Chains A and B, each alone.
Chain A
């Protein structure tokens, strides 16, 4: 036993030292979180550039003394990689199991702001960086795949971390007909922008509403074999639900409700989907999901079951805007989910609208994102894509 203990920290190091170091970093990090109770600093430009330069210099110096130091050689070995990656993975697992509170005190419940996370990240960058340098100098062609994967990951990780402080995400609230020059950050501080949007129209298209069989008692959707009885509206057709033949007689995508519980096509504000349905060819009646103007309408099948039309799901929503830039340019654009607008270093995303009014919403919520480090991250990611192809085509080249 004594013999083992004495050997422990003596070079050459292996797995035990790596594991102990990881545990040490983890405890140190949690202790720092506990005593400081402040989120880790996120350096902004130009300090993050200096920090990145410092990191690369340290790695270069360490690499330079590689031959003379067993410790440095250990830091680019597999046991060190397991130590660094293992710790980072452990923190991710904790993050994946413990519900996170973005604004909470840093620590286990707010991992991304914690010192434990920062120390683990730094350790990973050092080990990964030294491992990459080990294969860059001297360079061999057969190490291409190794380098693409390791250097690519290092660049992506380093740029994502160092650039985090320069990332801005703002929310912008547009009202139809109004021109807006400002947006709000997460602290609700108003920030003026180098451009403005005038919301000409907020457009939203819905899918044809689905139909469901619901309980007359509690209005909940009925289930058959554990599956909810929901179906797409069979436009010009019929379907079988729980033994009932349900046929669409008339479907109106935009309808208003007249007297006598009758629906009629209309483009007026508040127009809602409605359909005249038949059950087994004997019961007829209108169903409609209702909205902020009209109450929903059910078709009774018997005392306990009714046919209902569910609230429609949006198929597409977009803001038709007029853009004004500081230098006097004016042009029209459509900003849509998955189709962000690029302007003056910002990317503008369609995120939300007034849910109560659906397609009649006069409010459109946009998110503005500026991430000057994105191109660097992408360089890393594209190297990793190339590296992935290398892995797929090379497989594991055996050590002879």
Chain B
């Protein structure tokens, strides 16, 4: 069945690539429609392949890394499209489509070079949702901090940043929603894999800190929305904490016993 993947994947990749190109080049209404149509047909091609693969394998295609990559692409697109439609953020459709495209291309170009080993603790139905939801949260919060930096710059140039911060707030709320889901999915998974939903493992501690820092930001913003200067700095700082939780954790002396450090 994977033999036919090339056909479906190239169709998806080509259409998404075109859609991305259009969305970058032009901003006309007609182009917007074209982007939507292309991206949806690309998605349907991926969907068709997953359905055929499922029937062919006679089991849910969620076992190997290559199979999970299909789902990454699948969900990334759906979430990207829904958020785009709901909030009218074209950049988010482009962003998630780009990520989905990367995963399809990975499957196409390097189907077998990845390590196939997955330690038993990671072999769970929670693996995919936990990771995807976190990646989405990181995408939103990353964008919010970019807006934060832009606001810092604009403030420096004495431009109004009220609108920018309102946009950032919205994005933080959505990102925080996904961050909460990631945290809770992780807790539910931990209960199945390690016996307890929360053990203050270093990665958990830093995930909590990240969550709390954004929570602090949301409360500060809610209370005194006019104190924009303080809040922009906080927004930039919060992403720093997020990066510690994501990558920095591997270098912290307190984290060497973490169950999340996979060598």
Contact = CB atoms under 8 A, between A and B. Distances in A.
Interface stretch (A32-40, A53-61, A309-317): A309-317
Interface stretch (A65-73, A272-280, A355-363, A385-393): A385-393
Nearest to B79: A392
B60 interface: no
A338 B123 contact: yes
Contacts of A340: 192, 195
Contacts of B208: 92
B188 interface: yes
Nearest to B120: A337
A394 to B, nearest CB: 7
Interface in A377-400: 377, 381, 384-385, 387-396, 398-399
Given A82-B219, A399-B225, A381 B188 contact: yes
A369 B193 CA distance: 12
A160 B195 contact: no
Given A99-B254, A169-B196, A314 B120 contact: yes
Residue among A207, A369, A392 with the highest chain B CB neighbour number at 10 A: A392
Nearest to A351: B195
A92 B220 CA distance: 20
B231 to A, nearest CB: 13
A192 interface: no
Given A89-B216, A96-B209, A112-B200, A338 B192 contact: yes
Residue among A100, A167, A207, A388 with the highest chain B CB neighbour number at 10 A: A388
Contact of A88 (B87, B119, B195, B212): B212
A385 B121 contact: no
A31 interface: no
B117 A207 contact: yes
Given A78-B223, A89-B213, A100-B254, A393 B180 contact: no
B181 A385 contact: yes
B111 to A, nearest CB: 13
Given A314-B120, A381-B187, A388-B180, A96 B223 contact: no
A86 interface: yes
Contacts, number: 134
A395 B176 CA distance: 10
A371 B216 contact: no
A388 to B, nearest CB: 4
Interface in A348-380: 349, 351, 367, 369, 371, 374, 377
A89 B193 CA distance: 26
Contact of A85 (B169, B173, B219): B219
A282 interface: no
Nearest to B185: A385
A81 interface: yes
Interface residues of A, number: 58
A398 B166 contact: yes
Given A96-B205, A169-B196, A347-B195, A395 B123 contact: no
Interface in B121-173: 121, 123-124, 166, 169-170, 172-173
B3 to A, nearest CB: 17
B178 interface: yes
A79 interface: yes
Given A92-B205, A92-B209, A392-B174, A207 B216 contact: no
Interface in B182-212: 184, 187-188, 191-198, 200, 202, 205-206, 208-209, 212
B195 A169 contact: yes
Contacts of B216: 82, 85-86, 89
Contact of B124 (A316, A338, A388): A338
Nearest to B254: A99
Contacts of A389: 177
A388 B205 contact: no
Given A82-B216, A315-B120, A93 B209 contact: yes
A354 B21 CA distance: 56
B115 interface: yes
Given A82-B220, A92-B209, A338 B254 contact: no
A387 B223 CA distance: 20
Nearest to A393: B86
Interface string A183-210: 0000000000000000000000001001
A385 B184 contact: yes
A371 B192 CA distance: 13
A95 interface: yes
Contacts of B184: 381, 384-385, 388
A387 B192 CA distance: 23
B1 interface: no
B160 to A, nearest CB: 16
Contacts of B256: 99
Nearest to A381: B184
Contacts of A338: 120-121, 123-124, 192-193
A369 B200 CA distance: 17
B151 to A, nearest CB: 16
B205 A160 contact: no
Contacts of B202: 96
Contacts of B53: none
Given A316-B120, A391-B173, 13 more contacts: A85-B216, A85-B219, A92-B209, A96-B206, A97-B254, A99-B256, A336-B120, A337-B193, A377-B197, A392-B178, A395-B87, A396-B170, A396-B172
Interface of A: 77-79, 81-82, 85-86, 88-89, 92-93, 95-100, 112, 149, 160, 167, 169, 207, 210, 232, 313-317, 336-340, 347, 349, 351, 367, 369, 371, 374, 377, 381, 384-385, 387-396, 398-399
10 contacts: A85-B215, A92-B208, A95-B200, A96-B252, A338-B192, A347-B195, A349-B193, A369-B196, A385-B184, A394-B173
